[in-house]
């Protein structure tokens, strides 16, 4: 069995955790990353956890020629797991062309180069944003996809459509698209975790940075939704559980168990937690009282999003195992360890 896997965006948050799980399962990993929203230090952190240093290629996947050259070097790979993308929802609204250019060009160039080199397997990092404002809950894979509220989300929807067309045109191509709900948490070692550039767009790093004194206070966007406590409900999933799902998807490709050329799976816990429940969990786990303020709703936010995960359980043999307190505890340990390390330097 060919166990060489290319991981684009492998120095990023979800990519780096997936690289660790791949190495634990004896895969030979090659990371492609342009380091635009990540650090090469992550390679050393992965090595300290696994004892294995993955091969690293610094490559801008928007550059079609460079992409072709680097994939040619690794044309004996079994497949590609594609994380490389800009991912800040708010920024995508302000800079839509940057997002369409980066997220779609990188996908197109990767697909073109891997196809030219006979690499016919692909796992795509998608998002629950492709469902838009769902008409029913929990969200199943049969829910109709809709125009997402942000250019970021729309790049994920468009990417899935590109993969669908590509898999119809080339019958030897196999792809799995994994639709994430809300990844949080960090590796149990505290060596890697979520480290956004600038002001965080996601709830969990904003919470931990507020607790660490990096941010003055946490803004809670709206408490007048039709939910138990008025704050929006989301399906939070531990990033390590998410990473393990990619390994399960990869084995599905290796074992040739696909029932169609492009398959899609929801990745969540199947449970929703409100923003206030997440805050209360953090305060309980950390023993720290958070400084937060209730402000107006954020445009585009929907009241509730949570997944039905039966299909991933049945077809991939995967199920989320870690609970909310474990997610929050690991995220806080990562934040503390990272700040202690950088302060020491």
Where b means 16+ CB within 10 Å and e means fewer, 24-41 reads eeebbbbbbbbeebbeee
Distance of CA 288 to the CA centre of its chain: 28
Is 170 labeled as catalytic in the residue annotation?
Answer: no
Helix (H) or strand (E) holding 274: strand 273-274
The active-site residue out of 152, 206, 225, 338 is 152
Residues linked to residue 179 through DSSP beta bridges, in sequence order? 126, 266
Q: Could you tell me which of 213, 212, 204, 210 has the C-alpha nearest to residue 186?
A: 204
CB atoms within 10 A of CB 217: 11
Name the maximum alpha-carbon separation found in the chain.
Answer: 56
Look at residue 325 and give its three-state secondary structure: helix
Supply 318's token pair: 């995967």
Treating both helix axes as pointing N-terminal to C-terminal, what angle do 324-344 and 275-286 enclose, rounded to 10 degrees? 60
Where b means 16+ CB within 10 Å and e means fewer, 276-313 reads bbbbebbeebbeeebebeeeeeeeeeebbbbbbbebbe
Active site residues: 152
């Amino acid at each position: 069995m060919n166990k060489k896997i290319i991981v684009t965006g492998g120095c990023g948050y979800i990519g780096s955790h997936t690289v660790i799980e791949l190495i634990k399962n004896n895969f030979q990993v090659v990371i492609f990353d342009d380091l635009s929203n990540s650090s090469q230090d992550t390679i050393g952190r992965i090595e300290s956890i696994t004892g294995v240093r993955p091969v690293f290629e610094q490559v801008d996947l928007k550059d079609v020629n460079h992409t072709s050259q680097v994939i040619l070097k690794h044309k004996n790979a079994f497949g590609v797991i594609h994380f490389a993308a800009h991912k800040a929802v708010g920024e995508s609204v302000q800079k839509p062309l940057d997002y369409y250019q980066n997220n779609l060009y990188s996908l197109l160039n990767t697909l073109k180069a891997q196809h030219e080199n006979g690499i016919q397997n692909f796992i795509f990092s998608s998002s629950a944003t492709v469902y838009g404002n769902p008409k029913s809950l929990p969200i199943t894979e049969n829910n109709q996809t809709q125009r997402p509220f942000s250019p970021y989300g729309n790049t994920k929807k468009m990417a899935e459509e590109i993969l669908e067309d590509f898999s119809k045109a080339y019958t030897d191509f196999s792809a799995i698209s994994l639709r994430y709900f809300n990844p949080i948490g960090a590796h149990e070692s505290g060596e890697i975790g979520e480290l956004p550039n600038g002001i965080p767009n996601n709830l969990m790093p904003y919470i931990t940075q507020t607790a660490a004194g990096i941010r003055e206070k946490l803004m809670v966007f709206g408490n007048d939704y039709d939910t138990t406590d008025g704050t929006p409900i989301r399906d939070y999933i531990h990033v390590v559980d998410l990473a393990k799902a990619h390994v399960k998807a990869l084995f599905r490709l290796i074992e040739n168990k696909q029932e169609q050329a492009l398959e899609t799976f929801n990745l969540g816990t199947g449970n929703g937690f409100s923003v206030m429940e997440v805050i209360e969990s953090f305060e309980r786990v950390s023993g720290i009282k958070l400084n937060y303020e209730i402000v107006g709703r954020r445009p585009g936010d929907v009241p509730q999003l949570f997944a039905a995960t039966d299909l991933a359980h049945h077809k991939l043999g995967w199920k989320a195992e870690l609970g909310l307190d474990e997610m929050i505890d690991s995220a806080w340990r990562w934040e503390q360890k990272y700040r202690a390390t950088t302060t020491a330097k």
